[in-house]
Structure 1
Amino acid sequence: MISLLRYPCHSSIQMFMAICLLSAFPSVYATETVTAKMTSGQTVRTLDGVTEAVHQSTISAQVTGRVERLFFDVGDYVKKGEILVQFRDREVRARYNAAKAEYKEAEKEYRRIQDIFTKKLVARAAVDKAEARFKSARARLEQSNENLRNTRVHAPYSGIVVKRSIQVGELARVGQQLMTGLSLEALRVVVNVPQDMINAIRILKQARVYLPDGKQINAESITFNPYADPVSHTFNIRVNLPKQDFNLYPGMLLKVGFVIGKEMRLLVPLVTVARRSEVSAVYVVGSDGKISFRQVRVGAITPGHRDIEILSGLEAGEKLLLDTVKAARQLKSQGK
């Protein structure tokens, strides 16, 4: 029959035979077929989650002082260790210099008393007194040095400034908020999981995040809170993402699929399912070669958007047409 279609007919008899064959077997017009099969696959439950930064913090003042300079503002990218805020340090530096001088004097006196003590010219009490003064001076020097370092506020990690709570010239007190920043290098998705899923998720520890562009990424790891919310009875789970640029930002709503087991499912290629308003249907090729348009109830789409689960309306082993457009035309011709 293929040879009749491929090569030109050289007689009216050959043409007549070809037409008869095509009329008797209308499925020759059909596109490629595929067989619906039962497949063992993962049972995935999909929930909504919210993206957040792993590193997000607010930096507060560790000393009381007046802000001399702000090196960054909202929206700026900051590298780890760069200076964010500079306080006026004249008074703090003066106290540091005084503490340093006192320390050197106390150290010198302590060494002198120790030397005299070894010659048994002073009592032990004099050494103890000099040692106590030396240690006290050293503690004051260390505190003054810490205060001086705190007049410069450094970024604890690389990230973006999202909030500034201070102005140049403003007097900041210890504990007052200065800036808030976050890092986009490490992100996670926070999901509230129903209690009936938590045991399976804790055992299998598999999750995938569906991106807005249709792609999916596997979770780097999953972190569990060991308690449920007393009101919603859900568990807060953090799905950690790989450190890559996925064009994601904190606050974005994403779908997260959790693997909770395995099951047998009837899967067919997604392209075989035709949509008619709210109705899903497939073109089935019967044993007699005829095509029927059959409504089905569909389930979840597999990762990668290649296959779709058929919940009812189709049996394993039945053949479907892959090209629904050509199948529709052939079905129309079949009815004539």
Structure 2
Amino acid sequence: MAAELPLPVAAVTRQTMAQERVFHGLTEAVQQSTVSAQVTGRIIEINFDVDDFVPKGAVIARFRDKEQKAAVKAAQARFDQASAEFTRVADVYERKLIARAAYDKAEADLKAAQAELERAQEQLDNTVVRAPYAGIVTKRHVELGETANVGQPLVTGLSLEQVRVTVDLPQDMVGVVRERGQARVVLPHLGGPGVAATSITVFPYADPASHTFRARLELPAGLQGVYPGMFAKVFFVTAEVQHLVVPAAAVVHRSEVTAVYVVGSEGQIGLRQVRLGDVANDSVVVLAGLSEGEQVALDPNAAAVYLKQQVSGPSS
């Protein structure tokens, strides 16, 4: 360049950028489940209601446990008796005073009593229903004092710790999504370029009514301000194309005109109208008006002052 300019410049460059198609999806909790009764009995305690936060391991409900405690007590007595009998028989067997069959029977009786005690203890443990993970109660299916049967739903809940996105794809997108496996998720209320999906799963069957394929996108854990049931925009990468780009700082907006200050090889400056496309990080795609390698001013205000000085000429 013939003369050094008193302002920063940058070259119009060509960059490889992702070409994307956008679809609308919904967020959902990765962990969502219904806790059911494992015993039959009367509910004597319910500690949480709809919209309550439940810590992991917290007691959700208790069942009347009188029968289960009695069963454990009886099973413990039978186990103690079988254990004592086995000890006696083993001692006699070591002195070769009884046959092997008697020893085997005592051992089998002990194992059966132990298994019975474990089953009884498990049934007693099942009278206390605990949260499998920390989360929010979304539905309560029973009331205090109600008798519930094995398998009957008690509460439904979900975890807020990790959220994913589901979206329905047309048939022509299935192949490219599986091949490229790249997408970013934008939540309108958060703004910004969005977050990259950590993995994408496309279900291997279509909905018979809409003929679309469900895709599930996993998101990074710990995202703030993201909850199940939100709308999301999903941008799937379909190809990579080259575009001319300029720094976003070089762009001037005047009324309905979009332009940049172009710096010539001899240091002359001119305002040129351009047509721009998408914004990518700190750059803007140039659709028309510039060529690769041309120089643009990074400080439009300083460029305007410099251009005015060029037009008016040096002051006397």
TM bracket (short chain): 0.7 to 0.9
Q: Deviations over 1:242-286 (max 9, x none)?
A: 22242111111101222233101244566848698xxx7534779
Structure 1 contact 219–240 (Cα < 8 Å) conserved: no
Counterpart of 1:261 in structure 2 is: 239
One-letter identity of the residue aligned with 1:240: E
1:291 Cα shift?
6.3
Structure 2 contact 203–215 (Cα < 8 Å) conserved: no
Return the alpha-carbon distance in structure 2 between the equivalents of residues 44 and 275 of structure 1: 30
Q: TM-score w.r.t. structure 1 length?
A: 0.72
One-letter identity of the residue aligned with 1:264: Q
Any residues of structure 2 matched to 1:37-76 within 5 Å, and which?
38-76=14-52
The counterpart of 1:170, out of the listed 134, 146, 166, is 146
Q: Report the secondary structure of 1:168's partner residue.
A: coil
Residue 55 of structure 2 corresponds to residue 79 of structure 1: yes
Residue 110 of structure 2 corresponds to residue 131 of structure 1: no
One-letter identity of the residue aligned with 2:130: H
Structure 1 contact 47–256 (Cα < 8 Å) conserved: yes
The counterpart of 1:160, out of the listed 136, 145, 157, is 136
Structure 1 contact 193–236 (Cα < 8 Å) conserved: yes
Return the alpha-carbon distance in structure 1 between the equivalents of residues 229 and 248 of structure 2: 31
Counterpart of 2:196 in structure 1 is: 219
Counterpart of 2:119 in structure 1 is: 143
Counterpart of 1:241 in structure 2 is: 219
One-letter identity of the residue aligned with 2:142: I
Any residues of structure 2 matched to 1:31-42 within 5 Å, and which?
38-42=14-18
Distance 1:293 1:218, change over 3 A: closer
Return the alpha-carbon distance in structure 2 between the equivalents of residues 170 and 142 of structure 1: 27
Structure 2 contact 19–239 (Cα < 8 Å) conserved: yes
Residue correspondences, number: 290
Identity among equivalent pairs (%): 41
Distance 1:263 1:273, change over 3 A: farther
Q: For structure 1, which segment, 128-137 or 229-238, has the greater mean C-alpha deviation from structure 2 after superposition?
A: 229-238
Return the alpha-carbon distance in structure 1 between the equivalents of residues 236 and 254 of structure 2: 28
1:237 Cα shift?
2.6
- More helix by proportion, 1 or 2? 1
Distance 1:239 1:230, change over 3 A: closer
Structure 1 contact 224–235 (Cα < 8 Å) conserved: no
1:39 Cα shift?
3.1
Distance 1:194 1:273, change over 3 A: farther
Structure 2 contact 92–98 (Cα < 8 Å) conserved: yes
Return the alpha-carbon distance in structure 2 between the equivalents of residues 193 and 274 of structure 1: 37
Counterpart of 1:180 in structure 2 is: 156
Structure 2 contact 272–289 (Cα < 8 Å) conserved: no
Counterpart of 1:95 in structure 2 is: 71
Any residues of structure 2 matched to 1:174-213 within 5 Å, and which?
174-211=150-187, 212-213=189-190
1:165 Cα shift?
0.9
CA RMSD of aligned residues (A): 3.5
Return the alpha-carbon distance in structure 2 between the equivalents of residues 57 and 82 of structure 1: 16
One-letter identity of the residue aligned with 1:79: P
One-letter identity of the residue aligned with 1:218: V
Structure 1 contact 68–87 (Cα < 8 Å) conserved: yes
Distance 1:281 1:174, change over 3 A: farther
- Which structure 1 residue ranges, 5 or more long, are not aligned? 1-31, 328-336
Q: TM-score w.r.t. structure 2 length?
A: 0.76
Structure 1 contact 283–320 (Cα < 8 Å) conserved: no
Q: For structure 1, which segment, 282-291 or 59-68, has the greater mean C-alpha deviation from structure 2 after superposition?
A: 282-291
Larger Rg: 1
Q: For structure 1, which segment, 91-100 or 214-223, has the greater mean C-alpha deviation from structure 2 after superposition?
A: 214-223
Return the alpha-carbon distance in structure 2 between the equivalents of residues 275 and 208 of structure 1: 32
One-letter identity of the residue aligned with 1:169: G
